[in-house]
Homo-oligomer: A and B are copies of this chain.
């Protein structure tokens, strides 16, 4: 009988091994994809691509006559045996003088790369880049974007765990939706009508009754018909929800602390990508917090802009609020608090001091909303009353109201749009740049 008992020692090395170990003058084996081949007269430079960087190899045809350099096409994968030499001009400060090559796989016969992925920056249109996503992501700069995104989620999760939040997994196929409205995807579910979850709202509130503090990083779905630079029809929402709060300020404090932790985590763990993409990590030591109505007044005064609707915030106003707090307080972030009750869902808690407003907030990052959060109603009677006042039937929400009926601590939470956060951090102009395989009104593939 054969037994499986864990990882085997391999005789190949990784780029990281070479950078940190003492391999100079030694023969090693390394695997990789052919990134570029540059034919010189006597020899060729063959650059291999691996997950953690590029390796320059030098191939002399005279040395391995049985191996024709023509085989070394971009996209082939190989195992190279060679001697490590210092070479300042090569990535990582070393190159490998090839003694032997073994071909592991080849691209299709007669295929040619549709875009020059080995160039530093892909100078193609976003449209082309997205249509060729499986290939364009092989570009070193493109893939660094999604390492940063990975780091943002890791930082978020690590911080949540450190604050005793429990990670939950809530269903994406649901019977009803928290946000309501028309922007919901419908599907046929064994003869019943079902929807895709616009957010884990009901479930995360529910789970506060179980674990006090919960979080989830998962896909949400919005059937938005707008085809803008900042909307997606499927995106990743970083959600948390916490009980026993003294007020919605506790939620903002938690988010500020999370961002601080996460940016520091990126600085430590993703230094390579930060350098590669030229990211300046924002300062989140002191994030200004301003009331919704006050924010509108401030930008209206400073930028001589008429307030058209006191209960709504236009995208242009968001941009101006961002600009105002950058100019006046040198902050890339600003919390806008006390959103009008009309603009918030039925589970939002109204401000007892003025019920036209809610105990809620958005977080703007460089003039764009990346977070919506706030305190929720915990009292059964209050929640039913607000539903009725909005013309909703509490009988449609029996499962949700079960938690209020049997007791909920004062609680609140927020949702962060991961792709938008990444977009703003990288100063990208379109949220599709920071989405692995974006879904929009006209894009369902790849």
User: What residues make up the interface of A, taking CB atoms closer than 8 Å to B?
Assistant: 1-8, 10, 12, 14, 31, 33-34, 50-52, 73-77, 104-109, 111, 113-114, 132-135, 137-138, 143, 146-147, 149-150, 153-154, 161, 163-164, 166-175, 185-190, 192, 194, 196, 203, 206-207, 209-213, 218-219, 221, 223, 225, 233-234, 236, 243-244, 246, 249-250, 252-257, 260, 285-290, 329, 335, 378-381, 399-400, 402-410, 418, 436-437, 439, 441-442, 444-446
Q: Are A212 and B50 in contact (CB under 8 A)?
A: yes
Q: What are 22 A-B pairs with beta-carbon distances under 8 A? A: A1-B288, A1-B329, A2-B289, A5-B253, A6-B253, A7-B253, A7-B254, A33-B409, A105-B378, A105-B409, A113-B406, A135-B209, A137-B209, A169-B418, A171-B437, A171-B439, A172-B221, A173-B221, A173-B444, A187-B188, A399-B445, A399-B446
Neighbour of A134 across the interface among B4, B50, B132, B399, CB < 8 A: B399
Neighbour of A210 across the interface among B12, B143, B164, B244, CB < 8 A: B143
Give bound CA distance, A350 to B8, whole Å: 24
Known: A210-B138, A218-B219. A77 touches B410 (CB 8 A): yes
Chain B residues closer than 8 Å to A409, beta-carbon distance: 31, 33, 77, 104-105
Q: Are B287 and A4 in contact (CB under 8 A)?
A: yes
Chain B residues closer than 8 Å to A256, beta-carbon distance: 4-6
User: Nearest residue in B to A260 (C-beta to C-beta)?
Assistant: B6
Chain B residues closer than 8 Å to A134, beta-carbon distance: 206, 209, 399, 402-403
Chain B residues closer than 8 Å to A404, beta-carbon distance: 107-108
A132, chain B: closest CB distance, angstroms: 7
Q: Are A236 and B50 in contact (CB under 8 A)?
A: no
Q: Are A185 and B187 in contact (CB under 8 A)?
A: yes
Known: A1-B288, A206-B134. A107 touches B212 (CB 8 A): no
Taking A150-B167, A173-B234 as known contacts, 11 extra A-B pairs with beta carbons closer than 8 A to each other, sorted by chain A number, are: A7-B163, A51-B164, A76-B407, A104-B244, A105-B408, A108-B380, A134-B403, A173-B221, A185-B189, A186-B187, A399-B446
Q: Are B405 and A286 in contact (CB under 8 A)?
A: no
Q: Are A7 and B194 in contact (CB under 8 A)?
A: no
Give bound CA distance, A108 to B407, whole Å: 7
Chain B residues closer than 8 Å to A243, beta-carbon distance: 77
User: Nearest residue in B to A329 (C-beta to C-beta)?
Assistant: B1
A397, chain B: closest CB distance, angstroms: 10
Chain B residues closer than 8 Å to A213, beta-carbon distance: 51
Give bound CA distance, A446 to B403, whole Å: 11
Chain B residues closer than 8 Å to A109, beta-carbon distance: 380-381
User: Nearest residue in B to A401 (C-beta to C-beta)?
Assistant: B108
Give bound CA distance, A409 to B146, whole Å: 21
User: Nearest residue in B to A244 (C-beta to C-beta)?
Assistant: B31
User: Nearest residue in B to A109 (C-beta to C-beta)?
Assistant: B381
